[in-house]
């Protein structure tokens, strides 16, 4: 097979000693920036780029790609241990990962995240190898109407599946959409709800909001509740997933991987969407949905597999079309240009060694991540023994430094703090933050794709029903909405006092 | 990795000092004695970021101290540029400026946070890169005139993608409207990637895009360049706006460095001289060319003149077309 031999050539490139070293450096740095909230892979690359000028483009991109998927894994570590999502893609991992930690199961949670990511990464690399050129073309068929209806459906499904009433969830979703509309109007550039305040003109940042709603809110809430006696008091049970955990996680990992992989081929779709969806799907399929939110291992395994698969398949539009699907890939693209390589449709044919070398290195990088992270699990779990009154301060420091570092803005720190309080209020009144966050993240894309559709159709809504793909998504959204409103949802048995 | 980076720059600076014997004795002003921060008011990976990073390598060599890029994105470049106004005017913080961030978005702002002609002191202009108008390879239009003829006969039918509101691609689109009086429909995209995907998927009829972003698709034949804001040897057959009677279609994607007016003259002098030397390095020209930029060095006065002329053209375009992003 042609592709097989090309991949072997790539493997030979990736296994060269220097490339192996850069791959290792990349995944280690990636894990680190993933652990540090806010200092995401995008900022990390910006910092590291000058240090890579002397490298060959292949080595440099191998290292930078390592940062990308390393960060995906690192982000889950803080989500699980202290409820700070290191990356937007690991927000949903907080839900059950952190509860597992509080139940004394931080080890299995970290373990399943590592193995799940590894399995997903491996399968996704195979997918990139075999399907890249074909899938990239398929994604191009999606126009504004398809994007809009797909995002609407994602939002509806997540709203439907959170705990509590659908009305409450819809209120949170609407609040998220409102928050997401602050800033510059994406069509005509007018400012909305900014009151002439320049830092608001680009809207509120995602990272400050999620760090505030999760990390800061958790710490603030624990103030004055003698949490040192409660939070992590439970004895740590087991450091690795048990046979039972594996049985529970196998299918969630497979489904998360598949969903993540296909979501990743569409440029501009936030990795948050597939992770939220995969969480929602697992909850729906589970035989004990009431356990979700209280430490169900499936709620960690599926989204973690999913975000790794997405990060990997995001390389499909980047490497085969030259289209970056996220901020991180945009930086990679810039790096390619600095190295004098022209990304785009011709890249695979003009630089096969580069293309296949990078792909093969992604596979090797996943192996390294596993070797690197599994032995580290005891160390992370050990960190939890730090007395909570000390740990809480460290968490807050991390939260604020992280929020600041995203765009070097002190306003982001203020926003993080404000959303810490918002998070407490939301929880006290029995609302869930998941629909708020997803709606907030989706709002700009949802709005722009809706308004693009209206521009395409001269303001006629028919555009959503005359195109088959869009129609399917719209019908599904309506069905989910009706299902949630007309009869009690089957899955929101509220655990009494398990969390709040 | 931080250490690694730090060490690299440290070694570089130590090595440089070792290679320049008697430097501090020979010159009266000691500027610069520490690293210089370059404010790039855009996200990493964008054209301005890529361009400044390439220039920084050579600029830093000439200045003898490391240049540290600080990305402060937002508001089409306005957020970082406005924040720069509060920097200490000692020459240790300089601003990377483009037409979008220091001219058009200022003109379009309801409360302009600064006036580039008064509040900024140009250091020097590195060069520019034209903005391109592209169509899909299966598009029926072989020339820009054909496209406009169709647009005039079918008002509002053609959909043109724009990927930076208030920025250079939006300016090109609006200048086309002003000069041709054709009725095109603008479809804004939140980023270059999405707009490229829309044209590749033929969801739109045309697209204004920076040259570096266009090159891969033009050279692979998936897109055709019909018009440029200035001619380039990369596409020798493609006319510039001025060639076909569209004089306003002339605002390029340029890159220059600016300081605050209160910066000590001695520091400004060093900054200017070093940039001039860096710009004449053929290696820099080669690297920038790979990223789509053509080096066209202008000194402080030349750069000021360019800002002035862009300001005049854009004020006119904005007035006549009602272009808005406030």
CATH number at residue B212: 3.40.190.10
What confidence tier does B163 reach under pLDDT thresholds 50, 70, 90? Answer: confident
Task: Tell whether A397 is covered by a domain.
Answer: yes
Q: B82-91: per-residue pLDDT in tens?
A: 889 989 999 9
How do B131-136 and B206-210 pair as beta strands? antiparallel
Q: A311 lies in a domain?
A: yes
Whether the pLDDT of residue B5 is over 50: the answer is no
Residue B229 DSSP label: S
The domain boundary residue, chosen from B213, B244, B275:
B244
Is A346 close to B325, i.e. CB distance below 8 A?
Answer: no
In terms of phi and psi (left: phi > 0; alpha: psi -120 to 50; beta: otherwise), the region of B13 is alpha
pLDDT tops 90 at residue B58? yes
- Distance of residue B241 Cα from the nearest chain A Cα, in angstroms: 25
- Stated pTM of the model: 0.82
| Residue B31, domain member (yes or no) | no
Same domain for B143 and B177, yes or no, is: yes
Contact B216 A346 (CB under 8 A): yes
> Which pLDDT score, from 0 to 100, does residue B2 have?
41
Query: What percentage of residues in chain B have a pLDDT greater than 70?
Result: 90
Which chain A residue has its CA at the smallest distance from B11's CA? A51
Whether the CA torsion A74, A75, A79, A83 is positive or negative: it is: positive
Domain containing A75 equals 2-486
DSSP A141: T
Give the pLDDT confidence score for residue B191 in this predicted structure. 80
B95: CATH: 3.40.190.150
Residue A444 forms contact with B (CB below 8 Å) = yes
| C-beta atoms of A49 and B53 within 8 A | yes
Is residue B139 domain-shared with residue B107, that is, in the same domain?
A: no
Q: Are residues B125 and B153 in the same domain?
A: no
Nearest chain B Cα distance for residue A407, angstroms:
6
**Closest residue in chain A to residue B199, using alpha carbons only:** A140
Please state the domain count of chain A.
1
pLDDT score of B29: 59
Local structure of residue B100 (DSSP, 8 states) = I
Number of domains within chain B: 2
User: B138 and B119, same structural domain?
Assistant: no
Examine residue A491 and state whether it is found in any structural domain, yes or no: no
Task: Say whether B5 and A201 touch across the interface (CB within 8 A).
Answer: no
Which of B23-27, B67-71, B108-112, B263-267: highest mean pLDDT? Answer: B263-267
**Residue B135 sits in the same domain as residue B238:** yes
A 58-77 residues with CB below 8 A of B? none
* B139 & B286 share domain: no
Query: Does residue A74 lie in a domain region?
Result: yes
Please tell me which of the candidates A53, A317, A408 has its beta carbon nearest to residue B57.
Answer: A53
Residue A253 lies in a domain: yes
The interface pTM score, or ipTM, of the predicted complex is 0.80
Q: How confident is the model at residue B114 (pLDDT cuts 50, 70, 90)?
A: very high
| Residue B52, domain member (yes or no) | yes
Q: Are residue B144 and residue B174 in the same domain, yes or no? A: yes
pLDDT per residue as tens digits for the range B311-323 = 999 999 888 887 7
Collect all residues with Cβ–Cβ distance below 8 Å to A355 and sequence separation of at least 6.
A10, A319, A347, A348
Q: Which of A406, A371, A364 is nearest to A66 (CA)?
A: A364
Q: Does any CB of chain A come closer than 8 Å to the CB of residue B223?
A: no
Say whether B98 sits in a helix, a strand or coil: coil
* pLDDT tens figures, B122-151: 999 999 999 999 999 999 999 999 999 999
Q: Which of B215, B244, B273 is the last residue of a domain?
A: B244
Low-confidence residues of chain A: pLDDT under 70 = 1-3, 37-42, 86, 224-238, 345, 487-500
Using a CB–CB cutoff of 8 Å, tell me whether B50 touches chain A: yes
Q: How confident is the model at residue B21 (pLDDT cuts 50, 70, 90)?
A: very low
In a domain, B14, yes or no: no
pLDDT at residue B10 is higher than 60: no
Please tell me the distance from the alpha carbon of residue A399 to that of residue A413, in angstroms, as a whole number: 9
Which pLDDT score, from 0 to 100, does residue A8 have? 85
Q: Does B326 touch chain A (CB under 8 A)?
A: yes
| pLDDT (0 to 100) of residue A487 | 61
Would you call B10 an interface residue with chain A, using a CB distance cutoff of 8 Å?
Answer: no
Position B14 pLDDT exceeds 80: no
End-to-end CA distance of chain A: 57
Tell which of B244, B278, B309 closes a domain: B244
Residue B294's domain spans which residues?
Answer: 36-129+252-321
Give the pLDDT score at A226: 59
* Domain match, B239 and B263 both: no
Q: Is the pLDDT of residue B1 over 90?
A: no
Query: Is residue B269 domain-shared with residue B313, that is, in the same domain?
Result: yes
Q: Is the CB of A408 inside 8 Å of chain B's CB atoms?
A: yes
Residue B176 CB contacts under 8 Å (≥ 6 apart), including other chains: B133, B182, B184, B227, B241, B246, B249
């Amino acid at each position: 097979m042609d592709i097989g031999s090309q991949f072997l050539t790539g493997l030979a490139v990736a296994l060269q000693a220097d490339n192996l070293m850069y791959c290792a450096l990349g995944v280690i740095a990636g894990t680190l920036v993933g652990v540090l909230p806010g200092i995401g892979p995008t900022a990390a690359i910006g910092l590291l780029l000058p240090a890579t000028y002397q490298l060959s483009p292949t080595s440099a991109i191998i290292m930078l790609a390592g940062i990308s998927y390393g960060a995906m894994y690192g982000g889950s570590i803080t989500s699980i241990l202290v409820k700070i999502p290191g990356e937007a893609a690991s927000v949903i991992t907080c839900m059950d990962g952190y509860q597992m930690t509080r139940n004394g199961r931080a080890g299995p949670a970290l373990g399943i995240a590592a193995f799940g990511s590894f399995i997903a990464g491996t399968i996704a690399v195979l997918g990139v190898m075999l399907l890249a050129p074909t899938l990239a073309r398929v994604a191009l068929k999606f126009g504004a109407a398809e994007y809009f209806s797909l995002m609407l459906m994602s939002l509806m499904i997540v709203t439907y599946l959170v705990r509590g009433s659908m009305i409450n969830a819809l209120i949170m979703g609407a609040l998220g959409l409102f928050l997401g509309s602050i800033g510059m109007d994406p069509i005509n550039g007018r400012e909305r709800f900014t009151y002439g305040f320049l830092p608001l003109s680009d809207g509120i940042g995602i990272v400050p909001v999620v760090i505030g709603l999760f990390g800061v809110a958790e710490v603030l809430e624990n103030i004055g509740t003698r949490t040192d006696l409660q939070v992590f008091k439970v004895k740590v049970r087991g450091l690795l997933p048990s046979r039972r955990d594996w049985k529970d996680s196998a299918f969630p990992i497979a489904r998360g991987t598949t969903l993540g992989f296909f979501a990743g081929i569409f440029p501009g779709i936030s990795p948050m969407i597939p992770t939220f969806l995969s969480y929602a799907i697992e909850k729906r399929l589970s035989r004990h949905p009431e356990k979700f939110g209280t430490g169900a291992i499936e709620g960690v395994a599926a989204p973690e597999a999913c975000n790794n698969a997405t990060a990997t398949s995001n390389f499909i539009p980047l490497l085969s079309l030259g289209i970056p699907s996220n901020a991180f890939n945009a930086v990679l693209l810039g790096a390619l240009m600095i190295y004098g390589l022209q990304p785009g449709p011709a890249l695979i044919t003009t630089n096969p060694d580069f293309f296949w070398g990078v792909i093969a290195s992604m596979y090797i990088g996943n192996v390294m991540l596993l070797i690197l992270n599994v032995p580290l699990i005891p160390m992370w779990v050990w960190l939890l023994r730090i007395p909570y009154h000390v740990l809480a301060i460290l968490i807050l420091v991390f939260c604020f430094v992280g929020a600041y570092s995203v765009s070097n803005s002190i306003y982001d720190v203020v926003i993080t703090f404000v959303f810490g309080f918002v998070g407490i209020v939301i929880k006290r009144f029995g609302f869930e933050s998941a629909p708020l966050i997803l709606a907030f993240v989706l709002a700009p894309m949802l709005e722009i794709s809706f308004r693009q559709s209206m521009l395409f159709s001269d303001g006629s809504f028919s555009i959503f029903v005359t195109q088959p793909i869009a129609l399917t998504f719209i019908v599904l959204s309506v069905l989910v909405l009706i299902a949630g409103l007309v009869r009690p949802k089957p899955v929101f048995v509220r655990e009494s006092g398990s969390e709040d | 990795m931080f250490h690694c980076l730090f060490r690299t720059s440290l070694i570089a600076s130590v090595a440089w000092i070792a290679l320049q014997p008697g430097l501090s004795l020979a010159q009266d002003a000691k500027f610069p004695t520490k690293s210089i921060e370059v404010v790039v008011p855009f996200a990493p990976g964008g054209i301005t970021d890529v361009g400044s990073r390439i220039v920084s390598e050579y600029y830093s060599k000439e200045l003898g101290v490391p240049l540290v890029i600080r990305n402060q994105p937002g508001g089409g470049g306005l957020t970082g540029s406005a924040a720069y106004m509060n920097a200490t005017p000692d020459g240790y913080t300089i601003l990377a400026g483009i037409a979008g961030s220091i001219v058009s978005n200022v003109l379009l702002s309801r409360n302009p946070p600064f006036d580039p002609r008064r509040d900024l002191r140009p250091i020097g202009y590195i060069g520019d890169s034209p903005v391109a108008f592209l169509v899909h390879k299966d598009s029926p239009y072989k020339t820009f005139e054909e496209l406009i003829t169709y647009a005039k006969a079918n008002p509002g039918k053609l959909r043109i993608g724009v990927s930076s509101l208030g920025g250079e691609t939006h300016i090109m689109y609006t200048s086309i409207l002003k000069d041709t009086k054709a009725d095109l429909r603008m479809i804004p995209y939140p980023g270059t990637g999405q707009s490229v995907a829309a044209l590749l998927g033929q969801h739109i009829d045309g697209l204004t895009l920076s040259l570096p972003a266009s090159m891969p698709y033009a050279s692979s034949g998936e897109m055709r360049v019909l018009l440029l804001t200035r001619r380039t040897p990369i596409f020798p057959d493609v006319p510039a706006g001025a060639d076909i009677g569209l004089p306003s279609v002339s605002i390029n994607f340029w890159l220059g460095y600016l300081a605050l007016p209160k910066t000590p003259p001695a520091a400004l002098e060093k900054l200017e001289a070093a940039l001039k030397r860096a710009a004449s390095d053929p290696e820099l020209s080669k690297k920038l060319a790979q990223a789509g930029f053509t080096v066209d060095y202008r000194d402080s006065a030349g750069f000021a003149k360019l800002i002035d002329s862009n300001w005049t053209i854009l004020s006119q375009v904005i007035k006549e077309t009602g272009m808005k992003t406030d």
